[in-house]
């Protein structure tokens, strides 16, 4: 009431007509932010009412640009913020009064944002020039720095309280600044200064919240990037959702010559003339990841998100952009960055019906008007309708409705219309969403409905999981660095999440799967296999959830996945004769001792994986696992005896009448091994009593040393860490005299020890 009283007292000073007073009352009565701005800007309002919005908005554009001429940071900040308050006030009052339509509001808002960005850049270029001691400031036209407006700013569609999406590159051959000899460091400093000028909240407020996350792989790159690095990224790693973002890319400040070259160079990335099925499917998935409700269910208006919710602005934008990406490579007439312009072009070329064009355009205009009213209330970047009846009444009146029920009916009709066309466009496509809700991992923003869906599926820390999946799509792991892999991943993720959600601990299972995926050298083959074989996907999810050691092994040995596709792999454990045959086959083609050891490791780990997987999936009685693990160890020990014996003989010859037995004690002796058991072994040898040294080798050894060397080589063959990892740990403490005795014991001494000196244990 105090604000309205103040406005009543202010009205005579403005000497304005009754219509102007009505507009002021409507604005201040519905928007505390506008009320505060009106009270601060009496003189500006007089000029606005006298000269109209166009003249005053042009004046604020000049004021924003002139911030670049200020000599200190505080003055530049203040100038930009005062200009922003006045521009916001002029646009809002002109909107409420009906002087500006939606296009006019968005265009003025965007032009003012352009001026603010240009002014901030000019100030930072001058400051950096002074820091380097230059006599004159480097001009924006010659700085080699390119500031691109993306999203709504790029398309001249900024909403009333929008943040601005910027991507900033620099041409190393033209950019004149460096810090510590590093041009990127200087470019980053300039960008951070710009963002601070625009975004930092002061006593005068802020200018624009600035979002730099649409740059290449924003989670791991600097805020300013060289053109060369950017082109390499988009050529190798660019995703279809990034192509959609680049539809709206427009240079708003900086070096125009460099910007023209960059934008021209990006056209082949954005507008591909020839698309294969996988690429088209991935483009469709930009929409299809969002759960489609078919347009038939009732939408609750209270609390609805008019941007991201069903039937909202985002659905209209995706409706347009997916078709532009598929068709625009061959038809330049479809490349309009404007949503309304693109709808008109799609209709003119017969890609959508006149009815769809008309209804979606009307819905877009209405939803954007509601979006502006919501944001005018407190200058907040919000898209949520109030949940309370009083709050909904407030928005309805601000939108020009006398009856809240009529407002709800009108809004719901538009939302359902959008939903109908949106669902119809892709009705022949397979859904990529889970029945429980949206699963959207494109872009850089965290989709709140996706986080809610993941939470509902049982994943703890759903936001972290969403971030990891977006990282996969950015190609941050080797398995997803090819475009084909990322396109397949898009189709796979919903089914993968469903399988992981059915494990005992979905979050832990996901993180183990992430580690497994990070260990793979490539992903196309795996993703293709999992898409074709849902049983394999369920097996992999269960392994990730129940057996992290097996999951880690799979990450290092992806070839085992081929074996998992064989139904017989888990049906039963192989017999001892089969194990022996498999081992011999594994080492048969190896021509060196080291490669034979690697082959033995691959054999053993695959067989241990088989046993562990059978245990997890209940393919046999649990008490079968001990004998199965033991049989693998026995096969490896028996198989390596010949390899080790030949290796020792090559250097030291043979001992006449020599023979070695490997005795298993502990869990292996009892055939009760587990996946992590070590081997308790004793090496016992015998030989011709007359033999004292080995014969036939370059380096003969005394008998005891010979068999000691043999035992050491055998232990190393089992325990050494090679490229294929380690087979087993070996414990020799159960031999006579424990750690103090020789590693290999003669049969006579072994018998004598146990007859005369052995302990009861």
Give residue 353's pLDDT band: very low, low, confident or very high (50, 70, 90): very high
Mean pLDDT of 563-576: 69
User: To the nearest whole number, what is the mean pLDDT of the chain?
Assistant: 85
d(CA 468, CA 488): 17
Mean pLDDT of 60-86: 93
pLDDT value of residue 565:
64
Give residue 212's pLDDT band: very low, low, confident or very high (50, 70, 90): very high
pLDDT value of residue 623:
75
pLDDT value of residue 4:
47
Mean pLDDT of 205-225: 90
Phi and psi based region of residue 166 (left: phi greater than 0; alpha: psi -120 to 50; beta: remaining): beta
Mean pLDDT of 197-209: 93
Q: How many helices (H) and strands (E) does the chain have?
A: 32, 11
Q: Is the pLDDT of residue 17 over 60?
A: no
- pTM (predicted TM-score): 0.70
Tokens 């397949």 belong to residue: 488
- Any residues with CB less than 8 A from the CB of 344 and at least 6 apart, and which? 336, 357, 361
Give residue 738's pLDDT band: very low, low, confident or very high (50, 70, 90): low
pLDDT value of residue 240:
80
pLDDT value of residue 365:
97
Per-residue model confidence as pLDDT tens digits over 130-181: 999 998 999 999 999 999 999 999 999 999 998 999 999 999 999 999 998 8
d(CA 359, CA 346): 14
Give CA separation, 210 vs 78, 115, 223, in Å: 17, 14, 12
633 burial (CB, 10 Å; 0-12 / 13-18 / 19+) is buried
Consecutive H or E run containing 199: helix 183-199
Pick the closest to residue 443 from 240, 268, 307 (CA basis): 240
pLDDT value of residue 571:
64
More confident residue, 687 or 625: 687
Over 147-175, what HEC string results?
A: EEEEHHHHCCCCCCCCCEEEEEEECCCCC
Q: What is the percent of the chain with per-residue pLDDT over 90, rounded to a whole number?
A: 40
Total number of residues shown for the chain:
761
pLDDT value of residue 604:
83
State whether residue 707 is helix, strand or coil.
helix
| Report for 140-154, 418-432, 589-603: range of highest mean pLDDT | 140-154
- Of 3-17, 177-191, 393-407, 664-678, the range with the lowest mean pLDDT is 3-17
- Any residues with CB less than 8 A from the CB of 91 and at least 6 apart, and which? 53, 57, 100, 105, 108, 109, 160
State whether residue 390 is helix, strand or coil.
helix
| Report for 39-43, 63-67, 273-277, 524-528: range of highest mean pLDDT | 63-67
128 contacts 142 by C-beta, under 8 angstroms: no
Consecutive H or E run containing 562: helix 560-564
pLDDT value of residue 15:
45
Per-residue model confidence as pLDDT tens digits over 18-29: 667 788 888 888
Per-residue model confidence as pLDDT tens digits over 250-298: 999 999 999 999 999 999 999 987 765 556 666 666 655 554 444 345 6
| Report for 219-228, 347-356, 730-739: range of highest mean pLDDT | 347-356
Give residue 478's pLDDT band: very low, low, confident or very high (50, 70, 90): confident
d(CA 47, CA 55): 9
Consecutive H or E run containing 710: helix 703-719
Per-residue model confidence as pLDDT tens digits over 679-735: 888 899 998 888 888 888 788 889 888 888 888 888 888 888 887 778 888 888 877
Give residue 525's pLDDT band: very low, low, confident or very high (50, 70, 90): confident
d(CA 520, CA 498): 22
Backbone angles phi, psi at 662, to 5 degrees: -105, 115
d(CA 487, CA 531): 12
- Of 474-488, 657-671, 732-746, the range with the lowest mean pLDDT is 732-746
């Amino acid at each position: 009431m105090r604000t309205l009283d103040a406005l009543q007292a202010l009205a005579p000073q403005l000497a304005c007509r009754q219509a102007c007073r009505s507009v002021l009352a409507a604005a201040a009565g519905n928007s505390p932010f506008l009320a505060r701005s009106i009270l601060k800007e009496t003189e500006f309002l007089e000029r606005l009412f006298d000269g109209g919005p166009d003249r005053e908005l042009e004046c604020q554009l000049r004021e924003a640009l002139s911030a670049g001429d200020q000599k200190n940071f505080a003055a530049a900040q203040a100038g930009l913020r005062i200009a922003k308050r006045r521009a916001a006030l002029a646009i809002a009052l002109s909107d409420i009064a009906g002087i500006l339509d939606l296009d006019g509001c968005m265009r003025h808002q965007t032009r003012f944002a352009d001026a603010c960005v240009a002014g901030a850049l000019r100030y930072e270029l001058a400051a950096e020039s002074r820091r380097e001691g230059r006599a004159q400031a480097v001009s924006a036209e010659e700085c080699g720095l390119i500031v691109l407006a993306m999203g709504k700013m790029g398309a001249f569609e900024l909403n009333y309280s929008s943040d601005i999406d910027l991507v900033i590159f620099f041409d190393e051959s033209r950019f004149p600044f460096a810090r510590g000899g590093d041009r990127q460091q200087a470019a980053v400093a300039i960008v951070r200064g710009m963002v601070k000028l625009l975004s930092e909240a002061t006593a005068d407020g802020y200018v624009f919240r600035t979002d730099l996350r649409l740059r290449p792989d924003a989670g791991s790159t600097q805020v300013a990037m060289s053109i060369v690095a950017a082109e390499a990224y988009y050529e190798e790693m660019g995703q279809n959702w990034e192509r959609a973002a680049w539809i709206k890319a427009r240079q708003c400040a900086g070096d125009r010559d460099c910007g023209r070259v960059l934008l021209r160079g990006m056209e082949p990335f954005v507008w591909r003339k020839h698309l294969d099925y996988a690429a088209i499917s991935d483009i469709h998935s930009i929409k299809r990841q969002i759960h489609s409700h078919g347009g038939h269910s009732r939408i609750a208006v209270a609390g609805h998100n008019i941007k991201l919710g069903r039937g909202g602005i985002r659905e209209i934008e995706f409706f347009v952009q997916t078709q532009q990406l598929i068709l625009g490579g061959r038809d330049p007439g479809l490349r309009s960055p404007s949503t309304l312009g693109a709808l008109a072009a799609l209709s003119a070329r017969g890609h959508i019906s006149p009815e769809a064009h008309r209804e979606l355009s009307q819905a877009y205009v209405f939803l954007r008007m509601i979006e502006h009213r919501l944001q005018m209330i407190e200058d907040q970047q919000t898209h949520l309708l109030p949940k309370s009846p009083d709050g909904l009444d407030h928005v309805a009146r601000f939108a020009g409705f006398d009856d809240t029920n009529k407002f709800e009916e009108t809004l719901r009709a538009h939302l359902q219309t959008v939903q109908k066309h949106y669902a119809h466009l892709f009705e022949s496509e397979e859904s990529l969403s889970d029945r429980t809700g949206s699963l959207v991992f494109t872009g850089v923003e965290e989709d709140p409905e996706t986080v809610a869906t993941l939470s509902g599926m049982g994943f703890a820390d759903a936001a972290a999981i969403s971030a990891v999946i977006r990282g996969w799509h950015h190609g941050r792991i080797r398995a997803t660095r090819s475009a084909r892999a990322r396109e397949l991943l898009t189709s796979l993720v919903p089914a993968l999440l469903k399988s992981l959600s059915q494990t005992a601990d979905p979050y832990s299972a996901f993180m183990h799967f992430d580690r497994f995926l990070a260990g793979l050298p490539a992903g196309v083959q795996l993703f293709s296999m999992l898409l074709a074989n849902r049983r394999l996907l369920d097996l992999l999810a269960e392994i990730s959830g129940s057996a992290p050691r097996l999951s880690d092994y799979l990450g290092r040995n992806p070839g085992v996945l081929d074996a998992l596709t064989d139904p017989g792999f888990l049906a039963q454990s192989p017999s001892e004769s089969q194990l022996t045959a498999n081992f011999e086959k594994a080492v048969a083609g190896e021509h060196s001792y080291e490669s034979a050891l690697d082959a033995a490791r691959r054999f053993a780990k695959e067989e241990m994986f088989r046993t562990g997987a059978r245990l997890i999936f209940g393919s046999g009685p649990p008490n079968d696992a001990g004998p199965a693990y033991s049989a693998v160890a026995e096969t490896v020990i028996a198989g390596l005896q010949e390899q080790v014996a030949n290796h020792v003989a090559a250097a030291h010859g043979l001992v006449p009448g020599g023979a070695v037995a490997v005795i298993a004690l502990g869990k292996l002796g009892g055939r009760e091994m587990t996946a992590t058991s070590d081997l308790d072994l004793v090496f016992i040898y015998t030989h011709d009593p007359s033999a004292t040294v080995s014969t036939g080798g370059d380096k003969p050894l005394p008998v005891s040393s010979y068999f000691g060397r043999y035992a050491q080589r055998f232990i190393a063959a089992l325990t050494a860490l090679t490229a294929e990892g380690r087979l087993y740990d070996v414990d020799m403490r159960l031999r006579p005299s424990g750690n103090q005795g020789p590693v290999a014991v003669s049969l006579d001494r072994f018998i004598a020890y146990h007859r005369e000196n052995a302990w009861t244990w």
